[in-house]
Amino acid sequence: MNRKSFSSPVEALEGICRDNMTVAVGGFGLCGIPEQLIIALRDSGATGLTAVSNNAGVDNWGLGLLLESRQIRKMVSSYVGENAEFERQYLSGELELEFTPQGTLAERMRAGGAGIPGFYTRTGVGTVVADGKEHREFDGSTCILETGIRADLSLVKAWKGDTAGNLVYRMTARNFNPAVAMCGEVTVAEVEEIVPAGSIPPDQIHTPGIFVDRIVQTTSEKRIEQLTTTPA
């Protein structure tokens, strides 16, 4: 094992997790979520977490596990359906929510990773999303100021990675994971396969290893969020 490769999710998070940190988590629904790293984060016992993610998983899986254990204090997300425990905690005042439009959320993380402290967008103008935010006019259009996101820890899921931390995603898993990987002070990736450095052609790399601090190979359960079938 080299300095970036670890033998288990627990080892990959060793010495990183602490109370009250901001954790950015990749994935779209249950596609491309770092499920084994989420379990390891739960088992670390860290509490008071601010979780930045497109959504909060489902009951009993993904970030839903951290909601069940009451380890998440605040969610920054764009979609809050599919999770009854999320709904219960939010409506009862146990959970804080910063609701962010999906494209804005992705750009906030990308901007944070690129060292951009803020940007203006038309999205959300005239809605509760714009409350308390600076407004400016650009070419006759009103825009609001959104801030970049920097996370203490980013957890991502990729299809393949090499020992230098270069990552390749498949299909929908590429939606949020690249931006999440960029915005973390420390980024840990779980992958289905680890190959030697140099095995992935440079023009096929989606996240360069410069953004990835630790990598671990895991076995995915590949759960289906909503199963819809037709009669045979």
Kindly list the domain boundaries of the chain, sorted by start residue: 5-116+151-217
Is 0.85 surpassed by the pTM of this model? Answer: yes
Which amino acid is it at 155?
L
What pLDDT, in 10s, does the model give residues 167-215? 999 999 999 999 999 999 999 999 999 999 999 999 999 999 999 999 9
Give the right CATH number for 5-116+151-217 from 1.10.3720.10, 3.40.190.10, 3.40.1180.10, 3.40.1080.10. 3.40.1080.10
Q: Do 143 and 120 form a contact (C-beta atoms < 8 A)?
A: yes
Q: Grade residue 1 by pLDDT with cuts at 50, 70 and 90.
A: very low
Token readout for 193 is 């396969």
What is d(CA 9, CA 34) in angstroms, rounded to the nearest whole number? 10
